[in-house]
Structure 1
Amino acid sequence: MSTAFPQLDDDDLVARDALEVGTTATAAERGRRRVPWRFFAGRAAFYLFTLWAAITINFFLPRFMKGDAVSSYLARNRSVSPEAEASLRILLGIDTDKSIWQQYIEYWGMLLRGDLGISTLHGLRPVAEVLVAALPWTLGLVGIATIISFTIGTVAGAVVGWKRGSKLDAIIPVTTFFNTIPYFWLGLIAIAIFSSTLKWFPSSHAYDKGQSPEWSFDFIGQVIMHGTLPALTIVVASLGGWVLGMRNMMLTVLDDDYITVAQAKGMPNKRVLWGYAARNAVLPQVQSFALSIGFIVGGTIVMEMVFSYPGVGKLLLDATNAKDFALMQGVFLVITLSVLVANILADVVYAYLDPRTRQMES
């Protein structure tokens, strides 16, 4: 008696092959363990091209502006001889005897050597020295304030979204109201209340007049006192955006099936909130936070103007008014690099929080 074997069609063969290699979950687990080289290579190529484009624009943009750094410098120092003017143009890399292409090649050569040029606004000091002196103030103030604002806003937005329909919803219009107030006006109100009226905090500068930066408890206390009002202004002004963004994403995530299943299985609410809902809702916030961290280096120009704070934002404003193109290019370059680095870190964090990102691109 002969035994009849069933004929396997193409779908059966594919299913059998799938069973031999493992389930979909197993394949996904193996995919997570592989290093996503294609993902990193694609990102690296994109950021390298972006860096080249930004540096190229950074070179040409000041040269399209009316006037130049030498003319502005001569307007402030009329005793400079014609020979010194020619030498100064060569020193600044804007020699009229060279073509724009030659200047562009020399500009790249200077960047590769770490030479950002000299600043005519700061007594022909190297731009790198000027930036190094201003960066810590901006990073210390705006950076810490932005991190505090992001943390408080994200946590508050997650809780408000989780307890939607409760009295906590009142937080949204309050924070949004402060977010709509013009930044300089909010800073002036803070000075009027906490500095002029209550006299709790100083109204300007990063430390007391007549002091020089040093590592001492007295000086650090001065920095904290002078930086409290600007930092508080940044936190209050930007908090509404983080709260509203996280709350809206929570409302979207809470309608997904996996949240319903997790609650139906009897998982603790804290675990569902922070381990499932908030972890997925925070993903768009990460990209926004990366951009905020990147632009921290640029400083908040209005804030630094209102509080006379010696950061990079005020440095950029002064350089623009004085047509100090080398200093402008140095500030723009630092801002560009900071934005790129922040976005690279955001990609890494995003891929860690959501493995589907690196699976789809690996």
Structure 2
Amino acid sequence: MLYLLRKLGIFVFTLWVAATLNFILPRLVPGDPVSVMLAKYQGRLDPSAVDALKIAYGLNDLGSPMSQYLSYLGGLLRGDFGRSISLFPTPVIDVIRMALPYTLGLIGVTTIISFVLGSALGLYSGWRRGRAVADSLTPAALFLNAMPYFWFGLILLYIFAFQLRWFPLSGALDPFPGNTFSAGWWGSLLRHAALPVFTILVTSVGGWLITMRNNVINVAGEDYLAFARAKGLTERRIITRYVLRNALLPSFTAFGMALGFVVGGSILTEIVFSYPGLGFYLYQSVTNLDYPLMQAIFFFIALAVLLANLLVDFVNVILDPRIREGRA
């Protein structure tokens, strides 16, 4: 219990630090949204119009930095992130609600599938090493893991979307997909997600495979496996009860981190496929100096990573008895 309370305290403190940095860092970026707009119009705006834009965007005199900071923290506690500048006057929370389901559906589901598939292949490759198929998985995984996923995505987009026209070039849905959750709507959603999903799967499975294979090889040399064989346990029971459980613990910690970063989306993949997830809007907010949207997405990324780590700590207490007994 003391271990979990300590982790909970670290979670709260780290979240406050992340929120504070989230307030400071965007303000260190040179320029402001109105300057970006003036550059687009090459300065052909009346000074009074510039002042009106600053007032509309909330960029006029906002008081001292401390008052701005306290107002920012109060908004976080209320769930009020202000209005998006690049999508004015849409509230930031509405942009998050619109983009988050696409990111969770695309990146979240793909991360889970790649972890399960990569871990299963890594278990096979590590336990059956010395066999042709098992040993061939390692160089293939290294090649796929080293391949830039945005480059692979561009190749898929050019061949299957531009040349063959089997899949759409961009977006998450057709202009008129039908009623929400209807058969036509699901078909449109899956067609648009097929290439991004395949891109992420192919380029991420290799990392999980290599990690799991190394863990299995390390576990295979432990004395308790020899003892389990001496007791006459079947190979299936040895794998599921001893090998998998102990080899999965280090991978599970990394998996928790990966789930946390799901909220940020796979930025380059979403940009390549123009997929309207949080990663795509994060890029748009940075290029347009959209401080409210930028801060909100960064905050949700930090919150998701910290929650994922806290969840991993809770699960590790269940899986690893050494933590419950205070020995780890």
TM-score, length-normalised on structure 2?
0.92
1:189 is matched with 155
Alpha carbons of 1:119 and 1:212: their partners in 2 closer, same or farther (altered >3 Å)? farther
Deviation at 1:159, TM superposition (A): 1.4
1:160 is matched with 125
2:237 is matched with 271
Whichever residue aligns with residue 110 of structure 1, its letter is G
Residue 347 (structure 1) aligned with residue 282 (structure 2)? no
SS where residue 259 of structure 1 aligns?
Answer: helix
Alpha carbons of 1:336 and 1:56: their partners in 2 closer, same or farther (altered >3 Å)? same
SS where residue 297 of structure 1 aligns?
Answer: helix
1:81 is matched with 49
1:61 counterpart (19, 25, 28): 25
Deviation at 1:103, TM superposition (A): 0.7
Structure 2 regions of 5+ residues with no counterpart? none
Q: Distance in 1 between matches of 2:130 and 2:250?
A: 23
Q: Distance in 2 between matches of 1:85 and 1:179?
A: 46
Q: Distance in 2 between matches of 1:124 and 1:74?
A: 19
Q: Distance in 1 between matches of 2:105 and 2:177?
A: 19
Decide whether the 8 Å contact of 2:317 with 2:324 is kept in 1: yes
Aligned positions of 1:121-132 closer than 5 A: 121-132=86-97
Alpha carbons of 1:277 and 1:73: their partners in 2 closer, same or farther (altered >3 Å)? same
1:20 is matched with none
Structure 1 regions of 5+ residues with no counterpart? 1-36
1:24 is matched with none
Whichever residue aligns with residue 20 of structure 2, its letter is T
1:47 is matched with 11
1:19 is matched with none
Residue 260 (structure 1) aligned with residue 221 (structure 2)? no
Q: Distance in 1 between matches of 2:179 and 2:298?
A: 26
1:11 is matched with none
2:300 counterpart (334, 344, 350): 334
Whichever residue aligns with residue 147 of structure 1, its letter is I
1:357 counterpart (311, 315, 323): 323
Structure of higher CA gyration radius: 1
2:204 counterpart (233, 238, 254): 238
2:80 is matched with 115
SS where residue 99 of structure 2 aligns?
Answer: helix
Deviation at 1:330, TM superposition (A): 0.6
Decide whether the 8 Å contact of 2:34 with 2:54 is kept in 1: no
Decide whether the 8 Å contact of 1:70 with 1:88 is kept in 2: no
1:3 is matched with none
Decide whether the 8 Å contact of 1:51 with 1:336 is kept in 2: yes
Deviation at 1:97, TM superposition (A): 5.5
Decide whether the 8 Å contact of 2:257 with 2:309 is kept in 1: yes
Deviation at 1:199, TM superposition (A): 4.0
Whichever residue aligns with residue 228 of structure 1, its letter is A
Q: Distance in 2 between matches of 1:188 and 1:360?
A: 50
Deviation at 1:81, TM superposition (A): 3.4
Residue 175 (structure 1) aligned with residue 170 (structure 2)? no
SS where residue 282 of structure 1 aligns?
Answer: helix
Deviations 1:266-319 (A, max 9, x none): 101011011111100111111111111111111111111111111111101111
2:70 counterpart (105, 108, 128): 105
Whichever residue aligns with residue 285 of structure 2, its letter is A
Deviation at 1:194, TM superposition (A): 3.1
Decide whether the 8 Å contact of 1:39 with 1:361 is kept in 2: no
SS where residue 124 of structure 1 aligns?
Answer: coil
Alpha carbons of 1:257 and 1:199: their partners in 2 closer, same or farther (altered >3 Å)? same
2:106 counterpart (141, 152, 159): 141
Whichever residue aligns with residue 204 of structure 1, its letter is S
Q: Distance in 2 between matches of 1:212 and 1:262?
A: 58
Deviation at 1:115, TM superposition (A): 0.5
Whichever residue aligns with residue 6 of structure 2, its letter is G
Decide whether the 8 Å contact of 2:4 with 2:314 is kept in 1: no
1:300 is matched with 266
Q: Distance in 1 between matches of 2:175 and 2:189?
A: 12
Alpha carbons of 1:213 and 1:232: their partners in 2 closer, same or farther (altered >3 Å)? farther
Deviation at 1:203, TM superposition (A): 3.1
CA RMSD of aligned residues (A): 2.0
Deviations 1:120-169 (A, max 9, x none): 11122110001110111111011111110000001111111111111211
Deviation at 1:88, TM superposition (A): 3.0
Number of aligned residues = 323
Deviations 1:37-65 (A, max 9, x none): 20111001111110010000000011111
Deviations 1:196-244 (A, max 9, x none): 4554333322122344772211011110111111101101000110000
